[in-house]
Chain A
Amino acid sequence: MADTTETPGIAVQTDLIGNTLDNIRRSSEYIVIPLLALIVAGALFSVFLLALGKSPADFVALVWRGGFGTSFSWQNTLVRATPLIFTALCVAIPARLGLVIIGGEGALVLGGLAAASIAIPMVDWAPASLLLGVMAIAGCLAGALWIGCVGALRYYRGVNETISSLLMFYIAVSILNFFVEGFLRDPSDPNKPSTKPIGAENMVGAIPGTDLHWGLPAGVALCAVLYLLMNRTTFGFAARVAGGNLRAAQAQGLPVGRLMVISCAIAGACAGLAGFFEVAAIHGKANASLIAGYGFTGILVSFLARHNPLVIIPVAIFLGGIAASGGLIQRRMDLPDATVMVLQGLLFLVILVSETFYGSLPFFRPKRGTS
């Protein structure tokens, strides 16, 4: 090393406060851009409503009332937010490795089916806690295998994970139909083809004092755990290296294939858990109601949250609220059910467009003068 008398290393440490302010301004990008995107999507949606001759103000008021206005609507919102938290995690974890998985719905469906099926032979003898434990594990495993396959296909065969996970969703739906309309069908149920119910006494109960089931706290806890996994463990670090630059990860001898498969399996397990809670806390059995689009809305949640597990929680609640107000909007404004889907679609589009603005808006660029 050459001798030097000049200060080496970190160039300027003197004005810490200025730097902190500057950092805040630079990172505020991650809040301001999604907020702007929300506003733009809202404006576009207002145009859509105005074209239909409806008032956007009424719409907002109804979303508020239907989603957040009363304790009843809050509960409705939170119930809907629960599966979104799980399915959003199914997108967020592989996203850290640069994988775009959009087939979480398939893992949800199979997770639900696996949970319901494993319950059938156990219902007669197993205590509720054992039954639920086994069901949850079955749901996780089914989802993990399903999305784990997507990761393995991607790494070992170079199959695009976005396409394969989407196509595998259709396979998952067919598998569900095959079993619930075939030999798992409960003959005593005259309506929808379904598996045999697990029985009201075995269902996941409500949190005392509310109508909420335990899926929500489980989802929140899972978000915290996965946040720690991605940010405070060597696994998460290695995953971020591999997602950031595959060549660099290889040059460090990191097991890239294993990282991909494990991340995808974790993601699938999250979606599988969503299926488990749908079966064990809502429907009591597996049937076509599992295909409610939570897996797809979860993609939107994860992108809005920029794949940050902690941010997923409020975003899922926000979108859960919009979904919860759907019925009210339908009745009061005489708008079709799909209106909310239009809003979601617009949001997603605007969010995707807004991704391209990170780092290119002059305001957020570092520019503070030193003198």
Chain B
Amino acid sequence: MSVAEAMTPRAIDVETIGMTKTFGGLTALDDVSLRVRPGSFHALLGENGAGKSTLVKCMMGFYQPTRGQVLVNEMEVSIPTPRAAHALGIGMVYQHFTLVPSLTAAENLVIARAECPKVIDWGRERKELNAFLETTPFKVPLDMPVSSLSAGEKQKLEILKQLYLDQRLLILDEPTSVLTPDEADEVLGLLRGMTEARDLSILMITHKFREVTAYADDVTVLRRGRVVGGGRVADLSVGDMSRMMIGETEIRESASRTEQKGRTLKLELAGLFADDDEELPAIEAISLKVHAGEILGIAGVSGNGQSELIEVLSGQRPLQDGRIFIDAKPYDPERQMMDRFKVFGFSEEPLHNVAVPRMSVAENMAFRSFDKAPISPVWGWLSPLPMRNRARELIAAYRVKTPSTDEPIENLSGGNVQRAILARELSGDVDVLIVANPCFGLDFASVAEIRAQIMDQRNQGAAVLLVSEDLDEILDLADTVAVMSEGRVSYQSPMENTDRATIGHAMAGHH
């Protein structure tokens, strides 16, 4: 690609007509027509399971639509495979990273090319890469292994990769859920600049209205697989958009915080130490107390030991030193103790952390109960019928959208996987709840609902430890806030004695 070529306006015009996609008996997409004008920033909104990912997967050739066409620059095209989409200039950036962590940024870019050379002439590649970088606003250190980049840099590199492959329509599926608000603003701002220069058209799936109003030109709203509205963002208010998304369904009011009488200490972390995957200290001397009926919110910039702390508490990472106490008794994250002390939890990326993607919805919902009656009527025996019945109840109570109880859970939309897990973990009697970024990738109605559920558990007397990278979530829910920085608790305060600025200050490491 020469510099001159890249300068000419080359954004492409992409349109879908009557896209329909069915999975078994489930219609995930129903007659969806949408147009991304050349050089526009188009947002795709919709509640969990509305069909957003399915639509873009059809456009990318991952799925074949049951009916419907894709037009590129007003010509009908067929997209049998993702490779064909790339050849047409359509590229996609996922919510999760697809880079090779052990390779450098430069290596990742070169190997991504469709016709990667057999022998790589690094001198020449380097020159070409630099020339290419001149043409884009994205700056990423090229010589560091990807594993040492921050989430924001990785996401920029993912986008850079698509630009390097000369893609002229970028599809972004919830690209900012792994980023801090500042990182998100930077990335989206740069992308917006490129669309204004008519270098690129963008179709972005998001759950954040803020991003739509700040960056998008047009918006399309899907609901239950249909287009229910859209138009120029400038003509629409957030209220209009949210009404289109969920119709007349009421949003769950955020549950009010009830006053707790007395403070009994429930969960105590005493001097916890643990190592990260490279065997370097990840958390050091973490000591925290959570009382019954209290939400302790742990804030912090991602990568400061929060995920390791959660892993330690949920038994996914060995403790190097320190002890966990519940009701002043030593606690280890083993099944019997989890049952005895009624410890539950869930976290972001459920398919990676707390579910088995290939097992069915019913099986995944039975992880907590498969070894107890009624699913296990006799010791050691497992009977599938009560398992399915239980799953059916939970699916109805938590409004999980799934074709059947036997569907592999990986086929559910992101938000519905989270609901299924939530149903599993919150349907019983909860004394201790350990939650990490519970609202990642959820639509606003689900977010409201999940936060309300967490608040309900607190009001019923559960001790809640909530790790979140979303400061708003902490401000909204927590009774006490702690900030983690470089593996330590650097700041702690009751919520009424602190404010956003102070917490933000502590997160930035000025304490």
Interface residues, chain A, CB within 8 Å of chain B?
A: 1-4, 6, 8-15, 18-19, 22-23, 232-238, 240-241, 244-245, 247-248, 250-255, 362, 365-370
Residue of A1, A11, A232, A241 touching B449 (CB-CB under 8 A): A1
- Give the most central of B314, B352, B368: most A CB within 10 Å: B314
Contact B334 A233 (CB under 8 A): no
B455 part of interface (Cβ distance < 8 Å): no
Q: Are A253 and B338 in contact (CB under 8 A)?
A: yes
22 A-B contact pairs sorted by A residue (CB < 8 Å): A1-B397, A2-B445, A2-B449, A11-B402, A11-B403, A12-B24, A13-B404, A19-B24, A233-B381, A233-B382, A238-B371, A240-B359, A241-B356, A245-B357, A247-B352, A250-B314, A251-B314, A251-B354, A252-B367, A253-B315, A253-B337, A369-B22
Contacts of A237 in B (CB 8 A): 363, 366, 370-371, 382
* Cβ-Cβ contact count across A and B, 8 Å cutoff: 142
By secondary structure, the A interface counts as loop
Cβ distance A4 to chain B, nearest Cβ, rounded Å:
5
Instruction: Using C-beta atoms within 8 Å of the partner chain, give the interface range for chain B.
Output: 35 or more
Inter-subunit contact A236/B382 (CB<8 Å):
yes
Asked whether, in the complex, the Cβ of A367 is within 8 Å of the Cβ of B64, the reply is yes
Given A8-B396, A232-B381, A255-B335, A368–B22 Cβ distance below 8 Å? yes
- Compute how far the CA of A132 lies from the CA of B106 in the bound complex, rounded to whole angstroms: 66
Please determine whether B353 and A248 come into contact, CB atoms closer than 8 angstroms.
Answer: yes
Chain B residues near A255 (CB-CB < 8 A): 334-335
Q: Is the CB of A248 within 8 A of B333?
A: no
Cβ B355 vs Cβ A245 within 8 A: yes
Q: Tell yes or no: B392 within 8 A of A by CB.
A: yes
Please give, as numbers and ranges, the residues of chain A lying within 8 Å of B251 by CB-CB distance: 2
Is there an interface contact between B356 and A244, defined as CB atoms closer than 8 Å? yes
A48 to chain B, nearest CB (A): 31
Residues of B within 8 A of A12 (CB): 24-27, 403
Bound-state Cα–Cα, A8 to B416, Å: 12
- Contact across chains for A240 and B356 when beta carbons are under 8 A apart: yes
Residues from chain B with a CB closer than 8 A to the CB of A251 are: 314-316, 345, 353-354
The smallest C-beta distance from A25 to any residue of chain B, in angstroms, reads: 10
Q: Are B334 and A253 in contact (CB under 8 A)?
A: yes
State whether A247 touches B354 (Cβ < 8 A).
yes
- Given A2-B249, A2-B251, A3-B250: A248 and B367 interface contact (C-beta under 8 Å): yes
Using Cβ atoms and an 8 Å threshold, which residues of chain A touch B382? Answer: 232-234, 236-237
**In the complex, chain B residues whose CB is within 8 Å of the CB of A15:** 25
Q: Are A253 and B333 neighbours in the complex by a CB distance under 8 Å?
A: yes
Q: How far is the CB of B376 from chain A (nearest CB, A)?
A: 5
The 6 closest A-B pairs by CB, nearest first: A244-B356, A253-B335, A12-B25, A9-B396, A8-B399, A234-B371
Q: With A19-B24, A22-B24, A241-B359 in contact, do A369 and B66 touch (Cβ < 8 Å)?
A: yes
Cβ–Cβ contact B370 & A368, under 8 A: no
Residues of B within 8 A of A18 (CB): 25
What residues of chain A lie closer than 8 Å to B250, measured between beta carbons? 2-3
Q: Is the CB of B358 within 8 A of A244?
A: yes
Q: Find chain B residues with CB under 8 A from A4 CB.
A: 249, 399
With contacts A237-B370, A247-B354, A248-B367 known, is A366 near B23, CB below 8 A? yes
Known: A10-B392, A19-B403, A253-B334. 19 other contacts (CB 8 A): A1-B397, A2-B249, A2-B445, A4-B399, A8-B399, A10-B396, A10-B402, A15-B25, A232-B381, A232-B383, A235-B380, A237-B363, A237-B371, A238-B370, A248-B353, A248-B356, A248-B367, A369-B20, A369-B22
A19 CA to B376 CA, complexed, in Å: 29
In the complex, B139 has a CB within 8 A of chain A: no
A16 (CB) vs chain B CBs: closest residue: B25
Closest to A241 in B: B356
A10 touches B22 (CB 8 A): no
- Residues of B with C-beta under 8 A to A252: 335, 338, 367-368
Asked whether B405 is an interface residue with its Cβ less than 8 Å from the other chain, the reply is yes
Confirm or deny: B466 has a beta carbon within 8 angstroms of a beta carbon on chain A: no
Q: Does B227 contact A (CB under 8 A)?
A: no
B404 contacts across to A, CB distance below 8 A: 10, 13, 19
Q: Looking at A8, A241, A247, A251, which has the most chain B CB atoms within 10 Å of its CB?
A: A251
B126 close to A (CB within 8 Å): no
CA distance A232 to B356 in the complex (A): 18
Give the shortest distance, in Å, between B423 (CB) and chain A (any CB): 11
With A2-B249, A12-B403, A255-B335 known as contacts, the answer to whether A233 contacts B380 (CB < 8 A) is yes
CB atoms of A248 and B22 under 8 A apart: no
Contact in complex: B316, A247 (CB < 8 Å): yes
B488 close to chain A: CB less than 8 A: no
The answer to whether B22 touches A11, judged by C-beta atoms less than 8 angstroms apart, is no
Complex partner residue of A366 from B20, B24, B397, CB under 8 angstroms: B24
Q: Is B257 an interface residue (CB 8 A)?
A: no
Measured CA separation A1–B376 after assembly (Å): 29
Contacts of A366 in B (CB 8 A): 22-24
CB neighbours (8 Å) of B353 from chain A are: 247-248, 251
What's the Cα separation between A364 and B463 when bound, in Å? 47
A305, chain B: closest CB distance, angstroms: 18
| Residue numbers in A under 8 Å from B392 (CB-CB) | 9-10
Partner of B24, one of A6, A9, A245, A368: A368
In the assembled complex, which residues on chain B have CB atoms less than 8 Å from the CB atom of A9? 392, 395-396, 399-402
Within 8 A of A (CB), among B199-251: 249-251
- Cβ distance B240 to chain A, nearest Cβ, rounded Å: 19
B113 beta carbon closer than 8 Å to chain A: no
Contacting residues, chain A, for B401 (C-beta < 8 A): 9, 11
- Min CB gap A258→B, angstroms: 11
Interface string of B351-393 (1 = CB under 8 A from A): 0111111110001001110110000100011111000000010
A252 to B314, CA, bound (A): 8
A23 to B26, CA, bound (A): 13
Residues of B within 8 Å of A234, CB to CB, are 370-371, 376, 380-382
Residues of chain B with a CB closer than 8 A to A248's CB: 353-356, 367
Are B22 and A370 touching (Cβ within 8 A)?
yes
Set of chain B residues within 8 Å of A247, measured between Cβ atoms: 316, 352-354
Q: Is B252 close to A, CB under 8 A?
A: yes
* Distance to closest chain B CB from A16 (angstroms): 9
Contact across chains for A22 and B380 when beta carbons are under 8 A apart: no
Alpha-carbon gap, A236 to B376, bound state (A): 12
Within 8 Å CB of B63, what residues of A?
Answer: 365
Instruction: Find chain A residues with CB under 8 A from B370 CB.
Output: 234, 237-238
- In the complex, the answer to whether B25 meets A19 with C-beta atoms within 8 Å is yes
On whether the beta carbons of A244 and B359 are closer than 8 Å, the reply is: yes
Give the chain A neighbours of B337 by CB distance below 8 A: 253
- Nearest A residue to B65, CB-CB: A367
Query: What's the minimum C-beta distance from B258 to chain A, rounded to whole angstroms?
Result: 18
Q: Is the CB of B252 within 8 A of A1?
A: yes
A22 to B404: give the CA distance in the assembly, Å. Answer: 13
Q: Which residues of B contact A241 (CB under 8 A)?
A: 356, 359, 367
Closest to A25 in B: B24
B505 proximal to A (CB < 8 A)? no
Closest Cβ of chain B: how far from A257's Cβ, in Å? 11
Chain A, Cβ-Cβ closest to B411: A366
Is B500's beta carbon under 8 Å from chain A? no
What is the CB-to-nearest-CB distance from B246 to chain A, in angstroms, rounded to a whole number?
Answer: 8
- Compute how far the CA of A219 lies from the CA of B329 in the bound complex, rounded to whole angstroms: 48
A235 to B380, CA, bound (A): 7
Give the contacting residue for B22; candidates A1, A235, A367; CB below 8 A.
A367
Please indicate the chain A residues that have their CB under 8 angstroms from the CB of B67 in the complex: 369
**Among A6, A18, A237, which residue has the most Cβ atoms of chain B within 10 A?**
A237
The CA of A237 and the CA of B356, in the complex, are separated in Å by 11
Which residues on A sit within 8 Å (CB–CB) of B335?
Answer: 252-255
Q: How far is the CB of B97 from chain A (nearest CB, A)?
A: 18
Q: Which residues on the B side are within 8 Å of A13 (C-beta)?
A: 404
CB distance from B422 to the nearest CB of A (A): 11
Residues in B neighbouring A367, C-beta threshold 8 A: 22, 64, 66
Residue of A nearest to B335 (CB): A253
Among A8, A241, A366, max chain B CB count under 10 A is at A366
